[in-house]
Chains A and B, each alone.
Chain A
Amino acid sequence: MRTSAFLLVSLLLMASSPSSAQGATKIRLTQSETKALVQAVQDEIYDRQYQGHFFPEGGPVGDIISESRTRVPLYVDPVLEDGEGEAIYKLMPYGEVLRLFHLHDDGMIVLDGDPELGFPASQPNRKTVYIKDGDLDRMKHDWVKSSFEIDLSPSPDTIQDVVRRQKQRTGGFSAWEIAHSKENKKPQ
């Protein structure tokens, strides 16, 4: 009887341990995780100084909020597999992309891939022009629709926060820092 009880308790303990929790290969993205994804997308845009590309001559990308602010749709697969999810959004200057992302244990979202690679068709992070129209329509229809806002001229404080968060996500890399480090080295 004691042995049975011990085994049952062991089973319960193992079922509630973190390793078993990781065994759940599919989980649903929560609202706070979707917010974290929105922030990751915005941070990357500001860190790489892509925001100007959202405001081309002739009209902005997304729905205009003001002359210097736009709201861009973001479609998110509500199901994460092994902590990995997918999102579709317009990432200028590349155009609309399918982007993988990772949910870390601390709730931080890290976008997959390096935008400098240009989202070629050979990669899992790819421009949506390489996805069949029917598949793309279905994904946008079935996925959760969210959005992110982009400011043409983010404040210096915003940029500082962006750089700090990006470095946390990437293990120390910030495209903004590199760009400004190069600028500072230019002869006066």
Chain B
Amino acid sequence: MIRARGLTRHFTVKKETVEAVRGLDLRVEAGEVVALLGPNGAGKSTTLRMLTTLLPPTSGTAEVAGFDVITQQRGVRGRIGYIGQGNGAGHNQRGRDELVSQGRAYGLDRAAARARADELIGSLDLDAVADRVVSTLSGGQRRRLDVAMGLIHAPDLLFLDEPSTGLDPQNRASLQEHIRGLRARHGTTIVLTTHYLDEVDQLAERVIVIDHGRIIADDTPARLKAEHAGDRITLTFDHDADRAMAHAQGFLPQSDVRRTGTTVAIQADGGAQLVPKLLRSLDEAGVTVAAVEVARPTLDDVFLNLTGRSLREDVAAPALQESAA
């Protein structure tokens, strides 16, 4: 469905060249659900905009849904759906009108566009608000309308750029439910960007981690976690944290052991099996453990392990101004 080779995009920000995306190679097969994960400014949205013909690549090529993104833009545009970060529906328009316009833009005749609009209004639960002006809708309602706009022509390939940013947990859950349904019912190929880790866990079968414009990991969430982050064991002590730290290092020479104040954090595989032995050994050494916690790894741990930075810190790269380089 997607074949990209050496996809590169530079921007000029205050006379300096910023390499937003650097030589990206990507293959996505039909029916896959892929999440592009990375901090702000990593190059996720720029990649998406190149794949959707919104932005010409500085160099490299990409074929999307069988068409070249540079030489066959209309071929690509007619076959993909795109739900951007903003609102697809004009704020001074009514939702239903915009859906019909959108259908006409994709070549549906008037009757077909009306019928498809009705169908999407029903399935996205927009009946009550479809005839209201878009600017009066809530954030969640607008987002559902955006999704309906992106699906008007029932595309085989759907791009979503940070689909759930700014939504409350309930609306996020219902959006994720809808995206899963698309895949299950229609076999839609889905590519989404996000910086919500739980969203990746909820939706994606494949995670592509992007940092500084490059792919640094590409695998299933489960395998990424298994490979790039062990379980996290956190031990808390009333005293003797120093001794406990030394003891744990001796007990688990292969593992990453760190102390902050009165807690000792250990990163290790098979944490649940290790903890009983570790506790017994600490007990025998005369160190009393006050509390213990074992956590499964998260994608944030994966990111931390891969880059040495946490996704949550979100050290945003300078916002890119879109002046072509």
A and B, one complex?
no
